[in-house]
Every structure is written in C-alpha cells, then in structure tokens.
Structure 1
Amino acid sequence: MDITTTIPTVGAETARASLVARVENLTKSYGAHGARVDALREVTLGIRRGEFTAIMGPSGSGKSTLMHIMAGLDSSSSGRVWLGDTEIGGLGDEQLTLLRRRRIGFVFQAFNLVPTLDVEGNLLLPFELDGRTPSAREREWIDELETVLGLDPRLTHRPHELSGGQQQRVAIARALVTRPELVFADEPTGNLDSRTGREVLQVLQTATRSYGQSIAMVTHDPIAASFADRVVFLADGRVVADRTQMDASEIASFMLSIEQVA
C-alpha cells in the first residue's frame, strides 16, 4: 500500500478562510548534532472549520507534539503556526495564555476537573479565569450544554461522585462553554471503557454536526478515529496521508501498513 499523499499548499485566500488553524513547514527538533531527534519534519497542515479531525500515528510519530504546538503549549524549531488569522509563533507567554483561554478548548484523557468544585463550578471556571461572568446569551448556551450532555441532575455533584463518562462529559462541556474557535482533544477516551468511550465520541461528533464546532482529536484508537470527518496520519514526524471519513477496519489496516513501513 502506498502511504504517501500530497498535502495541498495552504496559500489561497479562500483556502485560508476555511481553516481554523494551520501550520506551514513546521519542524520540531530536540537535542543537537548527532543526538538530534526530529519530532516533526516540515509539516504543512490545516484544520478546517466546523470539522471533526482525527490525528493518528504510531507512538513517536509526532501527533501529540503537533497538537501541543498548534495549541500554543509548545514552540516549534522552525515553521509558522496560525490560529485563524493570528500567527502565534511570535506571541509572548501572556498573549498565549489569553489566546488559549479565550479561543481554544481542551479535553484531556485525565479529565482535569477541579476536585473541590461541583459540576456547575467546573463549567463556570473558564469565565472565572477570564475575570468575568457569563452573559445572558452565554448562560443560555451553558444551560443547553448541561441538558444536551445529561448533566442537569449532576450539577451539584463533585468529580469524585461522577462516573468516568460523566466526568468526561463535564470536561467536554467546559471546553465548549466559551464557544472556542477550536477544541483540542488528547486521547479523550483513553481512560474509559469501550461503551462509555463511544458515548463520549458521539458527543464530540454532535458538537461538530449540530453546532459547527471545530475539533482536532489526537488518538491511537481506530474506533475513536472512525467518528471523525477526516483522518490525518503521521509517521516519523511527517504527514503521510489525509483522508475523509474512514471506518475502523480501514483505519486499523492503514495504521498497520504505516508501522510495517516504519
């Protein structure tokens, strides 16, 4: 199987307008001289608005590094990174903090809920960190999320009183409350059983299809990736394929071909 693909150059204004985030010629290296390791090598990639994108690859392929750089959590060795029309590579720590707080949402494998806050308190945390209270329209959106995600009966419960699936639903709701331009999900089903994991993936899928949310999910799980509209494959720090929606067996087969070549 040929695992190479041509990644279109991001250049035209119309193409840029459809992208919520993009990187051009992105390289991330660690060490120097003979000890140098390239985690990413000349990666050019755009995340399209209103789309659920899965980023896959074997361990060490660079997928988590790519997400961290696109989210402003890490810096590149060379290349350029944009969130919308904002090039983030030259931003200072304070500017990056504000950008992440106001324009990006995060969902992690470990949930990362504040244990001393109840569900409602965790959902309002992004507003508190930004030094403000939700507007009336934002309050309506929070109420809708609580209902859609089945959290209404749990609003006064603390994280330790919730199941893993319920905690991840709270984490997803918290990532969505400020209507961020892009939500990054890092192995969001890694700590969940298969049934609960599917329910969480359906929530992410619904966020895209019903609300137009842009989501980029890093995963090694073919079943998780099959919920996405698009699957981007990395190997040895490079993008080797960029496909529209695939079923889990196709993804697993393709991943196997990548690992065999590697």
Structure 2
Amino acid sequence: MQISSNDLGLAARVAGLTKTYGTGDGAVMALDDVSVGIRRGEFTAVIGASGSGKSTLMHMMAGLDTPTAGRAWLGEYELTALGDRALTKARRRGAGFVFQSFNLVPVLDVRANILLPFELDGRRPTADDEAWIERLIDSLGLAARVGHRPHELSGGQQQRVAIARALATRPDVVFADEPTGNLDTRTGREVLALLAEASSSHGQSIAMVTHDPVATSHADRIVMLSDGRIVHDGGPLSPTEVADLMLSVEVVR
C-alpha cells in the first residue's frame, strides 16, 4: 500500500532523501539520507549554518527541486512520482511561499497579488475563499491598502501581502525562507508573530528556514541540520538556547 503524508498526519514529508550536486571529486552532498515530516498545524523552524542543507530540504519538500534519491510527499501528492505538469499542480495547490525578497508582482495591487495563486491555477475563488481572503486582509492590517501597488508599501506591508498570498489558498504547508531577512527588527517580529498566529489560530502548517535564533524561538518545533543531516529535532527554545545549540554543533564539527 502506498504511504502518503495524510496517513501519517503530516502536511509534508521526506524519506531517505539525498541530494548531490556535481559529479566525481567535485560532488557535494547537500542532504544525506534525511527523513522528516512537517506536522499539521505546527510552526517548524529549520535551522543550520550556511551550507547545512536547510534550504535544499525546503526546496525538496516544496517540490522546487528533485532529489538524487529518496521520496517526498506534499499533502496527498507523492512529489517524486509526478511528472512536471502534475508536480506544478501539486505545488500550486499544496504549498504557499514566503520569501525574504517578497516576490510581489509590481504591476499588481495588493488584492491582485493575493489572488495570484488562484489565477495561476486557472480557478476562481469560491465564496468561502473570498470570505477567508477578506479575513486575512483585515487581520493583517491591509484593508486600507488593497488598491496600492508594492512600491507604495513599506517592507513590512509587502511582507504581510506575501503572507496573505501564501495563506489565501489554504495550502497544506507554507514554506517561509528567511522571511524577516530584509526587515527591520520590529517589523520582523511582527511578521513572525503573524506566522505563529496562522499556525496556532488557523491550524496552518509553517516550515520556516532561518539562521536567526530570535526568529527560531517563535517556532513550536526546531529541526537543525549540519552537513546535510538532522542533528536536532525538538520543542521550542529561547533565543539564547538556540544560539547555544547552534554553537555546540559548530564546535563539534
């Protein structure tokens, strides 16, 4: 019987995942036999030093890259068993994305940017979807800005639009890659609080890649990678405890 992430109560999952870049003496192993899942309704931080494999893991879980070996599921879809067209469909419907560069379309206003995932998927929002989107707009403080274009917004407002866009289709999991990297400290903390609220209040699964101990401390679960392998998987920690954990791993290396 085929095992899916739904069977395991997970929003996303990888098993025996290995990723190698290059060949021969120049080959670099970014992931080394990694098996891990993102639990439903949980805010997970994936941390590690530069080159540890954390971004590669996120890309594999989101279907943005293909593994050298192993399997990956996103929601009900086994990504590693899909062709390009089916993979694109699974990614659009099962994943939302928040990047540090915001990735908003400059010629579209706030509402059009939020609705973009529906447009790309070739479907119109249902009445229920519309109600959810209005709720997001209100809760993220964007109601007075829906007709504005990205260049008319602050960095924090642009990131809020990106969060609303990621949550609009209610995907299985939202992947956030250094979502506070281009924000000032206060705005960054607001964005992290919004992601945490999306998880705790709306049952949204969040997987955030970060190297920031303070950002990590907002998560329910912390997964740490080093040299392409998971070296820690545990509950929430304070910023100081996160920093100590990262330092201890670096010292061992």
| Aligned equivalents of 2:233, 2:199: Cα separation in 1 | 19
Residue pairs, 1:1-262, within 5 angstroms: 16-262=7-253
Runs of 4+ displaced beyond 2 Å = 11-17
Q: Deviations over 1:51-110 (max 9, x none)?
A: 000000000000000000110000000011111342111211111111111111000010
| Aligned equivalents of 1:130, 1:43: Cα separation in 2 | 31
| Aligned equivalents of 2:75, 2:155: Cα separation in 1 | 33
> May I ask how many residue pairs the two structures share in their alignment?
252
| SS of the residue 1:43 aligns to | strand
> Which amino acid is the alignment partner of residue 42 of structure 2?
E
C-alpha displacement of 1:33: 2.2
- Contact preservation (8 Å) 2:6, 2:76: no
C-alpha displacement of 1:14: 10
C-alpha displacement of 1:134: 1.1
Unaligned ranges ≥5, structure 1: 1-10
| Structure 1 pair 194–148 and aligned structure 2 pair: CA distance change class (3 A) | same
C-alpha displacement of 1:12: 9.5
| Aligned equivalents of 1:145, 1:135: Cα separation in 2 | 15
| Aligned equivalents of 2:6, 2:87: Cα separation in 1 | 25
Normalising by structure 1, we get a TM-score of: 0.93
| Aligned equivalents of 1:47, 1:110: Cα separation in 2 | 24
| SS of the residue 2:106 aligns to | coil
- Contact preservation (8 Å) 2:4, 2:77: no
Unaligned ranges ≥5, structure 2: none
| Aligned equivalents of 1:140, 1:198: Cα separation in 2 | 27
Range with greater deviation from structure 2 (210-219 or 29-38)? 29-38
| Aligned equivalents of 1:140, 1:158: Cα separation in 2 | 22
- Contact preservation (8 Å) 2:12, 2:75: yes
> Which amino acid is the alignment partner of residue 187 of structure 2?
T
| SS of the residue 1:131 aligns to | coil
| Structure 1 pair 29–12 and aligned structure 2 pair: CA distance change class (3 A) | closer
Range with greater deviation from structure 2 (58-67 or 129-138)? 129-138
| SS of the residue 1:58 aligns to | coil
C-alpha displacement of 1:132: 2.1
| Aligned equivalents of 1:192, 1:116: Cα separation in 2 | 22
| Aligned equivalents of 2:50, 2:167: Cα separation in 1 | 29
| SS of the residue 1:89 aligns to | helix
C-alpha displacement of 1:140: 0.4
| Aligned equivalents of 2:3, 2:14: Cα separation in 1 | 14
C-alpha displacement of 1:13: 9.1
Identity %: 63
| Aligned equivalents of 1:114, 1:260: Cα separation in 2 | 43
Normalising by structure 2, we get a TM-score of: 0.96
| SS of the residue 2:52 aligns to | coil
| Structure 1 pair 121–15 and aligned structure 2 pair: CA distance change class (3 A) | closer
